[in-house]
């Protein structure tokens, strides 16, 4: 089944030729974050002109997401793992592959650039050469079989693309990491010398992909950029990308012929002509990453992703900070790089150009500071029937904040599909609090059920999934004085008063004959320390702090008579 059309397994050919690297869903409201060993992956997908790509399918195993109009995506509830394959699929674009390091309750950033495919239709019965610029994929006659292994005879639809490795955009399109498994089983970083991609389909049925038949090979010829010719070795190992594991595997040898590397492959996947980076070609940068906790205090950044990007070569290297915020980053020796630290989707400013030490040398760089303390919350508002609740304003509020703590409160503005995406800050990262959403229109107030919310760390993305907003529950009662005189007319209100002196939670009602009132509030929710006041023609009154518990949506609970006390402070 084709990834191009139906997101199955794609027939992709990709040759990588000098990128260097050394690497040291939709949910329902009842599926809000389980914190048992899961994290998230987020980022942005763009085209080569840096415009966002909407509608890209991003897949991690059985989980998936689709990029929005800004090219953004988030996949949550991913089991933790150090090398998690991520696939990016868009019709008429070359398939992209990346790998993520997923840690518990944190977000890993992957920004991706996808390139449009160069297309052609060729007959299967004759020899053919597919080209993109000077790059060539040479195919013998009768080379293809279908998914069942049957010989294919007919027209073949091709999607291909050659990537110039000296183009910085190629770094954002390169599959996986710049590390490969050699034939002896050991892993090594490598330099590669460009890449090319091709997929093959039955021209009459683009959901049916084709592969090389047993005993058939394709000859690959890729240009070596002029700036890399002097350093290009005469022969070079070839590597294929194993999509299931997200790792490169050594297989075969390429040969430098003139200004090209050439080699044969017997199956279509991503391929590399890569030169292993030996220990004698490496050096080390060390440093520390810190994060701004407040405007005047900082803390060490644990697990920050630190990336050195080549200035005088095309490539990058990555390491992660330890429990003290320290990192040790292997880099290409005697080269020029800039270094940036990432905490989730937040980052430090890139350093200036740094000249790396000589072979086997070590140099310390200035501390990297991530000053952005914000995290991101996303989700989708639905009504009880499952339809989107678009536009308007929705308040997210913390329930029953501890005395002395400023409650977490923010206003959200969903788009036409009911989706929201908002950057927030709150001091208590990692704590679990109870929150609730409510939308107040001219006619009604809608509420979510109470939700347990683990406050994200800076840079992390929290996906609330689908949030159902329903009408509230009702609490009725009657107001009377201590001498059994019921109030008549006016209004009554209750607010939650905490140590901060802020009243963020508030409910009010008109008062009828015999002191009757009806409060509408979030369904199935309790609020403690609710202080009341009442105003009627008989005077101004206060009501002692109490707990108010609202029943399920559309239900009513009567709390009986409430004694009010004259407000002696009010004139």
One-letter-per-residue 3-state SS of 152-185: CCCEEEEEEEEECCCCCHHHHHCCCCCEEECCCC
Whether residues 129 and 246 share a domain: the answer is yes
Buried b (16+ CB within 10 A) or exposed e, 201-231: bbbeeeebbbbbbeebbbebbbbbbeebeee
- Tokens in use for 147? 């998914």
Domain end point (choices 428, 449, 471)? 471
Q: Tell me 172's DSSP state.
A: H
- Radius of gyration for the chain, computed over Cα atoms and rounded to the nearest angstrom: 31
Whether residues 353 and 388 share a domain: the answer is no
* DSSP-H helix ranges across 62-115: none
Q: What is the pLDDT of residue 401?
A: 81
CA–CA separation, 472 and 355 (whole Å): 63
Whether residues 212 and 169 share a domain: the answer is yes
Whether residues 294 and 256 share a domain: the answer is no
pLDDT below 70 — which residues of the chain? 1-36, 442-443, 498-504, 569-571
CA–CA separation, 346 and 5 (whole Å): 34
* Beta pairing partners, 346: 343
Whether residues 106 and 254 share a domain: the answer is no
- CATH code of 156's domain: 2.60.220
Closest CA to 272 of 384, 188, 330: 188
Whether residues 419 and 504 share a domain: the answer is no
Give the H or E element holding residue 470.
Answer: strand 470-471
Q: Give the number of domains in the chain.
A: 5
Q: What is the pLDDT of residue 118?
A: 94
**With contact defined as beta carbons under 8 Å apart, do 527 and 559 qualify?**
no
CA–CA separation, 197 and 307 (whole Å): 26
Q: What is the pLDDT of residue 361?
A: 97
Q: What is the pLDDT of residue 18?
A: 43
Domain end point (choices 370, 396, 417)? 370
**With contact defined as beta carbons under 8 Å apart, do 62 and 44 qualify?**
no
Within 13 Å and on the Cβ side, how many CA atoms surround 157? 13
In a domain, 343, yes or no: yes
Both ends of the chain: CA-CA distance in Å? 79
* Beta pairing partners, 380: 419, 466
In a domain, 285, yes or no: yes
Whether residues 222 and 134 share a domain: the answer is yes
- CATH code of 307's domain: 2.60.40.10
Closest CA to 432 of 399, 467, 460, 395: 399
Q: How many other C-beta atoms can be found within 10 angstroms of the C-beta atom of residue 269?
A: 18
Domain end point (choices 248, 276, 304)? 276
In a domain, 35, yes or no: yes
Whether residues 178 and 246 share a domain: the answer is yes
In a domain, 11, yes or no: yes
Q: What is the pLDDT of residue 492?
A: 96
In a domain, 512, yes or no: yes
Q: What is the pLDDT of residue 10?
A: 37
CA–CA separation, 474 and 548 (whole Å): 11
Whether residues 74 and 209 share a domain: the answer is no
In a domain, 363, yes or no: yes
> Could you list the residue range(s) of the whole structural domain that residue 560 is in?
473-566
Q: What is the pLDDT of residue 442?
A: 61
Q: What is the pLDDT of residue 67?
A: 95
Whether residues 141 and 288 share a domain: the answer is no
In a domain, 571, yes or no: no
* DSSP-H helix ranges across 72-226: 169-173
What HEC string does 327-374 produce? EEEEEECCCEEEEEEEECCEECCCCCCEECCCCCCEEECCCEEECCCC
In a domain, 249, yes or no: yes
Whether residues 127 and 223 share a domain: the answer is yes
- Tokens in use for 278? 């030996």
- CATH code of 56's domain: 2.60.40.1120
Q: Phi first, then psi: give them for residue 480, nearest 5 degrees.
A: -145, 155
Whether residues 547 and 508 share a domain: the answer is yes
Buried b (16+ CB within 10 A) or exposed e, 181-197: beeeeeebbbbbbbbbb
């Amino acid at each position: 089944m084709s990834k191009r059309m139906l997101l199955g397994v794609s027939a992709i050919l990709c040759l990588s030729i000098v990128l260097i690297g050394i690497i040291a869903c939709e949910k329902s409201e009842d599926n809000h974050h389980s914190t048992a060993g899961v994290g998230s992956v987020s980022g942005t997908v763009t085209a080569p002109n840096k415009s966002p790509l909407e509608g890209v399918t991003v897949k991690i195993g059985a989980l998936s997401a689709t990029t929005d109009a800004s090219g953004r995506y988030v996949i949550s509830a991913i089991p933790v793992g150090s090398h998690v394959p991520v696939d990016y699929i868009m019709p008429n674009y070359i398939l992209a592959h990346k790998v993520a390091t997923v840690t518990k309750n944190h977000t890993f950033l992957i920004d991706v650039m996808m390139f449009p495919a160069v297309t052609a239709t060729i007959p299967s019965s004759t020899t053919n050469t597919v080209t993109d610029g000077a790059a060539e994929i040479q195919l013998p006659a009768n080379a293809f079989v279908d998914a069942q292994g049957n010989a294919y005879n007919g027209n073949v639809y091709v999607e291909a693309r050659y990537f110039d490795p000296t183009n910085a955009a190629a770094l954002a399109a390169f599959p996986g990491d710049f590390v490969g498994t050699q034939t002896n089983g050991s892993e090594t970083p490598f330099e590669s010398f460009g890449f090319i991609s091709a997929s093959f389909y039955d021209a009459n049925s683009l959901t049916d992909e084709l592969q090389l038949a047993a005993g058939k090979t394709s000859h690959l010829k890729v240009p070596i950029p002029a700036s890399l010719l002097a350093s290009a070795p005469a022969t070079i190992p070839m590597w294929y990308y194993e999509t299931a594991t997200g790792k490169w595997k050594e297989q075969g040898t390429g040969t430098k012929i003139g200004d090209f590397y050439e080699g044969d492959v017997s199956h279509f996947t991503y391929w590399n002509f890569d030169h292993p980076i030996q220990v004698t070609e490496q050096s080390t940068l060390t440093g520390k990453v810190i994060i701004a906790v407040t405007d005047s205090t900082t803390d060490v950044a644990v697990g920050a992703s630190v990336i050195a990007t080549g200035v005088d070569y095309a490539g990058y290297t990555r390491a992660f900070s330890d429990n003290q915020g320290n990192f040790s980053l292997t880099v290409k020796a005697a080269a020029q790089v800039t270094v940036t630290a990432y905490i989730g989707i937040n980052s430090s400013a890139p350093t200036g150009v740094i000249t790396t030490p000589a072979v086997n040398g070590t140099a310390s760089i200035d501390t990297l500071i991530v000053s952005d303390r914000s995290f991101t919350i996303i989700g989708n508002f639905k009504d009880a029937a499952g339809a989107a609740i678009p536009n308007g304003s929705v308040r997210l509020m913390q329930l029953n904040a501890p005395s002395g703590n400023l409650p977490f409160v923010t206003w959200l503005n969903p788009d036409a599909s009911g989706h929201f995406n908002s950057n927030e800050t709150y001091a208590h990262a990692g704590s679990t609090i109870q929150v609730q959403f409510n939308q107040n229109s001219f006619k009604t107030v809608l509420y979510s059920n109470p939700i347990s919310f683990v406050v994200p760390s800076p840079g992390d993305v929290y996906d609330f999934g689908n949030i159902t907003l329903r009408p509230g529950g009702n609490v009725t009662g009657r107001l009377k004085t201590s001498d059994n005189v019921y109030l008549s007319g006016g209004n009554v209100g209750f607010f939650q008063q905490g140590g901060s002196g802020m009243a963020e939670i508030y409910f009010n009602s008109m008062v009828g004959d015999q002191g009757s009132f009806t409060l509408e509030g979030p369904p199935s929710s309790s609020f403690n320390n609710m202080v009341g006041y009442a105003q009627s023609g008989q005077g101004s009154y206060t009501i002692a702090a109490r707990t108010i518990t609202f029943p399920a949506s559309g239900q009513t609970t009567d709390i009986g008579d409430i004694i009010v006390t004259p407000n002696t402070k009010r004139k």
